[in-house]
Structure 1
Amino acid sequence: MPVTPVDFASLLCSRLCHDLLSPVGALNNGLELLADETDPAMRQRCLDLLNESARTSANKLKFFRLAFGAAGGFGEQIDARECRGAIEGLLSGGRKVELGWLVEAEALPKPAAKVLLNLAMIAGDALVRGGKLDIGGEENGGTVEIVVRAEGPRVILDPDIRRTLTEGEGSEGVTPRVAAAFLVHTLAGGVQVSEPGENVLLFGAALGA
């Protein structure tokens, strides 16, 4: 079933609101606790939680602006250092994920940068118990080739996300859960995905430079 730009915008907004609900909700809860708390040690604990939630919210917003929005300016390229910083921020909270950055280019075409960012997010989400996330990208003969590899104690890729990356939609069509995968498929025209395995997940995509 074709997805209109308005439909996709709605799906993407739903996905972003879902991802931001937890850290923003934690901010609200922390403020409520802080208002009623008089013990100095507990107040400091509340402040620490507020700082952590605020940092997580800011990191997610920074990532989403690059991955889905018009961040990076209105030129044709995005600074690769911005992409790396956004991914590091996204990975900084919760699970322990080590980032291996193998992109030598100083800048990437915007479509390639968005594919790289979204594949990194999907692979990072698949590392349910942490692990290593390696991201590579290079231009070869007018084509930008992107490789993302996730390895950890347990790697789980949602079957609908897998299907959307390779075919363009999941078993229920395009839903907020697969919005990032749909964007990747739209920009890259399909993604190579390794067969399901317990410890390793590999993505490959190629776009015109």
Structure 2
Amino acid sequence: MTTSSVDLASLLCSRLCHDLLSPVGALTNGLELLADEKDPGMRQKCFELLEQSAKTSADKLRFFRLAFGAAGGFGDSVPNQEPRALVDALVGNNGRIAVNWALAGDSLPKPAVKVLLNLALIAIDALVRGGTLDIAAEVREGASEIVVRAAGTRIAFDATVGQALDGSLPPADLNSKTAPAAMVQQLAASIGGGIQVHLSPEALVMGAVLPVA
């Protein structure tokens, strides 16, 4: 699979806009309700809606900034607490997913963090009825090793996402849903790494091995 950087960037922007549409729309609705509402109790509910929608929007922007963007402010490595906080915030807004972490060391190379975040995003999308999300990562023997496991009563994993992860998806079939997987695959391949995917009725397991420069 070969996809131009412009096309991939456009699709990632489409994904970001899609995910932000709901919380930003809720902000608009909350402001409209607040403008017309006189009852103190209802006004308080409007403020609560605005607060939650603003938090969700900010959490998603911070997540996508590091998952998709250049992530200015970080060097070659990123402290482990950064991706952990971003995923925990994203899952916290969902409310149906429990996250378990096993991150070795104090930091990970930036490419590994981007792969981890995007694999976590794919796993969260797959847990349509909630479940558990297990994330592990470490650097050993000159490579970053990442494992993301999603387990729940229903795993919704589109086959085209799996194709994007292994690099077999035709460019014509790429869309905003598969773009994060395509970015992960291209990033891993560019540094001599690879992505593995295993799907069973009980769980989706994705792994990555990325050489450290």
Q: TM-score, normalised by structure 1?
A: 0.94
Structure 1 letter corresponding to 2:208 = A
Amino acid at match of 2:119: L
What is the TM-score when the length of structure 2 is the normalising length?
0.92
Picking from 196, 204, 208, the partner of 1:192 is 196
Letter in structure 1 aligned against 2:195: V
Can you list the C-alpha shifts for 1:84-104, whole angstroms capped at 9, x where unaligned? 000111111124111111011
Counterpart residue number, 2:92: 92
Distance in structure 2 (CA, Å) of the matches to 1:171 and 1:125: 22
Give yes or no for contact 2:103–2:137 (8 Å, CA) kept in 1: yes
Aligned equivalents of 1:168 and 1:93: distance in 2?
33
Instruction: Quote how far apart the aligned CAs of 1:171 are.
Output: 8.0
Distance 1:141 1:9 in 2: 33
SS at match of 1:92: helix
Output the amino acid matched with 1:92. Answer: G
1:208 aligns to what? 211
Which residues of 2 match residues 108-127 of structure 1 at below 5 A? Answer: 108-127=108-127
* Structure 1 Cα separation of the partners of residues 182 and 67 of structure 2: 13
CA RMSD, 1 decimal: 1.5
8 Å CA contact retained: 2:27, 2:53: yes
Tell me the distance in 2 between the aligned counterparts of 1:72 and 1:80. Answer: 16
Where do 5+ consecutive residues of structure 2 fail to align?
Answer: none
Question: What's the counterpart of residue 169 of structure 1?
Answer: 169
- Structure 1 stretches of 4+ with a deviation exceeding 3 A read none
CA distance in 2, matches of 1:113, 1:87: 11
CA contact (8 A) 1:193 1:201 kept: yes
- CA-to-aligned-CA distance 1:154-190 (integer Å, 9 cap, x gap): 1111111111111253684321111110111011234
Task: Identify unmatched segments of 5+ residues in structure 1.
Answer: none
Aligned length: 208
Q: How many Å apart are 1:44 and its aligned residue?
A: 0.9
